[in-house]
């Protein structure tokens, strides 16, 4: 863990970035979490995720002006509690990285994702790729492999522009970073 903190500090010092120090550290940690999540999804076999996700509608992205709209139907999640839907939204935001908004209707089992795909990316995520990601995350949440206790989705809206936004984890990171700075 100590080498990761040093690596993080070195990266923060050498490259320009936006946001406060905590936001920059949070971005780097989320990048590591995204890699770990994709490793978990890659280990899943396509046959393990027996629950189906149906692509309802796809509206393509309009350059950098309007995000793509992807609507999915998760019939097996119909009636699930909002905590599970919020966790699904959190992991989708983590996995896809360029999500503008995630909306869900737990009664009908519908999910709507506003997503900006990288226009110049070598590997573009098609709606079928995103469907596979959503299906894998839903399976991992259902089987309790992924925890649902921390929901960034809910906390982002609750904590905007509030004094004392730091969580215990953020305060611990700041304390560790301050110890490393000479």
In b/e form, how buried is each residue of 90-124, taking b as 16+ CB within 10 angstroms? bbbbbbbeebeebebebeebbbebbbbbeeeeeee
More confident residue, 133 or 45: 133
Distance of alpha carbon 170 from the chain centroid: 18
pLDDT at 160 (0 to 100): 46
What does each C-alpha distance from 80 to 86, 94, 105, 126 come to in angstroms? 11, 21, 10, 27
Q: Which domains, from first to last, does the chain contain?
A: 1-43+168-182 (no CATH), 49-150 (3.30.1360)
Highest mean pLDDT among 13-22, 23-32, 35-44, 111-120: 35-44
Q: What is the mean pLDDT of residues 46-67?
A: 80
More confident residue, 156 or 34: 34
What does each C-alpha distance from 46 to 41, 95, 132 come to in angstroms? 10, 18, 9
Q: What is the mean pLDDT of residues 109-117?
A: 90
**β-bridge partners, 59:** 69
Three-state DSSP string of 149-175: CCCHHHHHHHHCCCCCCCCHHHHHHHH
Task: Give the Cβ contact number of residue 144 at 10 Å.
Answer: 8
pLDDT at 32 (0 to 100): 86
Q: What is the mean pLDDT of residues 88-115?
A: 89
| pLDDT digit string, tens, across residues 133-175 | 999 999 999 888 888 875 555 555 554 444 355 666 777 777 7
CB 69 within 8 A of CB 59: yes
- Asked if the model's pLDDT at residue 40 lies above 60, the reply is yes
Q: How confident is the model at residue 96 (pLDDT cuts 50, 70, 90)?
A: confident
**Dihedral angle sign, alpha carbons of residues 174, 175, 176, 177:** positive
- Check: pTM over 0.75? Answer yes or no: no
Q: How confident is the model at residue 70 (pLDDT cuts 50, 70, 90)?
A: very high
Nearest to 51, CA basis, from 149, 151, 132: 132
- Asked if the model's pLDDT at residue 77 lies above 60, the reply is yes
More confident residue, 35 or 180: 35
């Amino acid at each position: 863990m100590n080498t990761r903190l040093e690596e993080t500090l070195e990266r923060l010092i050498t490259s320009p970035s936006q946001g406060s120090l905590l936001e920059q550290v949070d971005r780097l940690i989320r990048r590591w979490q995204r890699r770990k999540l994709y490793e978990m999804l890659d280990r899943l076999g396509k046959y393990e995720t027996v629950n189906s996700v149906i692509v309802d509608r796809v509206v393509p992205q309009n350059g950098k002006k309007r995000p793509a709209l992807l609507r999915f139907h998760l019939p097996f999640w119909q009636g699930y509690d909002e905590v599970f839907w919020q966790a699904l939204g959190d992991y989708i935001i983590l996995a896809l990285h360029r999500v503008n908004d995630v909306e869900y209707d737990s009664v009908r089992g519908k999910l709507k994702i506003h997503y900006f795909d990288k226009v110049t990316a070598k590997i573009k995520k098609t709606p079928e790729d995103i469907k596979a990601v959503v299906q894998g995350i839903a399976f991992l949440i259902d089987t309790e492999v992924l925890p649902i206790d921390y929901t960034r989705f809910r906390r982002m809206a609750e904590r905007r522009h509030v004094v004392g936004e730091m969580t215990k984890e953020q305060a611990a990171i700041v304390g560790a970073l301050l110890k490393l700075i000479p």
